[in-house]
Amino acid sequence: MALVATACGDGSTSTTAGSAPADVSSSCPDPSGALVTKAKKEGTVVMSGPPTDTVRQQLPKAFEQTYGISLDYIGTSGKDNAARLQSERQAGIYSQDVFLGGADTMANTYHAQNWIAPLTGVLPASELDPKGWRGGTVPFVDADKKILSISKYVSVPIVINTDQVKADEITSWKDLLDPKWKGKIATIDPRSPGGAIYNVGMFQAADGYGDAFVKQLYKDQKPILITDSRQGTDDLAKGKYPIALGLGQLDVDTAADDGLPVKVVMPDLLQTTSGFGFLAVSDKPPHPEAAKVLAQWLACPDGNKAWNNAYGSISARSDVKPPADLPAWQVPQDGVDYFNTNSWEFLTKGVKDATELIKSLIGSN
């Protein structure tokens, strides 16, 4: 899936209201309803999300064309936005209405700091109907129902350079322990912010793997630690190393679509995640009515589809089909036992345990 876009200066994008409302699904906010009418009087809504060019360009435009409300989009990392919010809130400033972020930031910062409100007071009954979601369960992450997973997909497991590795050479994570791969495996540093630490947690939880395997892979095999997925994907394609772990879905998809010699191989352990697809609303939104419209739109079929198409992801809704150009392996399949990186226990305890283990093996970064 090739997504080509340009960055926007300071990471903030806004649209100008005035377009005619588009047709909307019956379960989405009514463009001529009372809520939207009140939201228009607020003039705008502010949302933070991933620093992804296609999201920056497409999502504000789609929302504004539907509801005639300007969307000020702040594209930034979870870590940077959390620091920004911390500074602002200490000064009594509340600048953002809606958040789309990663699991760790949402659970261990936004939720832990009580920066977000229960979505049961924001979303209508139609969006809280389990029938509308995959697996027949509304995918709240926490018991307080403040964080909703609106995307769900299989994480990129192992990526190889096809000029250097045959696909059938890697069918299990344990194949990476072959001495010939020592010092030749690149991995996003699991100590850095993001989902690379999830692999460690998956190994800890899996029968036949555990802490011993983590030591063998991350210490004894002397992997190359990298921090930038896009650069890592480019280096893999250039043959700087034959195998890479923890790369981003969009970077790998784009490289493959460009005809570069990279291929995802499917080992014995897989995990599901949501990436930046966790929705929350501020406990003190500066534009409360517009915040409700935006949150409801992102959770309903139309806005959920717009978000996932722009992000290059898969909807957690049962009535939104995956983009046709996404690889089939990225779609979670019924009957497959995936490691669930969205579980509250893992996010609030397992991530910490995995981080402590990896730091004990390779040191603090």
What is the DSSP annotation of 181-198? GTT-EEEE-TTSSSTTHH
Of all helices (H) and strands (E), which one includes residue 154? strand 153-154
Same-domain check for residues 61 and 177: no
Domain that holds residue 169: 156-269+335-362
Tell the residue number behind the tokens 């959770």, with chain if given.
299
Are 302 and 313 within one domain? yes
Residues 181, 229: Cα–Cα separation, whole Å: 20
Q: What is the pLDDT of residue 25?
A: 87
Tell whether 232 and 350 lie within a shared domain: yes
Cβ(256)–Cβ(329) below 8 Å: no
* List of E strands, 37-123: 44-49, 70-75, 98-101, 116-117
27 found inside a domain:
yes
pLDDT of residue 310: 93
In a domain, 6, yes or no: no
- Residue 2 is assigned to a structural domain of this protein: no
Per the structure, how many domains does the chain have?
2
pLDDT at 16 (0 to 100): 45
- Range 78-86 contact pairs with CB under 8 angstroms and sequence separation of 24 or more: 78/102, 78/104, 78/105, 78/106, 78/109, 78/193, 78/276, 79/105, 79/193, 81/48, 81/105, 82/109, 82/110, 85/110, 85/115, 86/113
So what's the pLDDT on residue 226?
97
**Are 141 and 245 contained in the same domain?**
no
> Which one-letter DSSP state was computed for residue 92?
T
Over its length of 365 residues, how does the chain's per-residue pLDDT go in tens digits?
A: 333 332 333 455 554 444 444 578 888 999 999 999 999 999 999 999 999 899 999 999 999 999 999 999 999 988 899 999 999 999 999 999 999 999 889 999 999 999 999 999 999 999 999 999 998 999 999 999 999 999 999 999 999 999 999 989 999 999 999 999 999 999 999 998 788 999 999 999 999 999 999 999 999 999 999 999 999 999 999 999 999 999 988 899 899 999 999 999 999 999 999 999 999 999 999 999 999 999 999 999 999 999 999 998 899 999 999 878 788 889 998 888 999 999 999 999 999 999 999 999 999 97
**Cα–Cα separations (whole angstroms), residue 241 to 92, 95, 125, 247, 248:** 49, 43, 51, 13, 17
Residue 3 lies in a domain: no
pLDDT of residue 15: 47
For residue 198 the two structure tokens come to 């999830």
- Tokens representing residue 354 in the block: 């995995």
Pair 227, 291 in one domain: no
Residue 7 inside a domain? The answer is: no
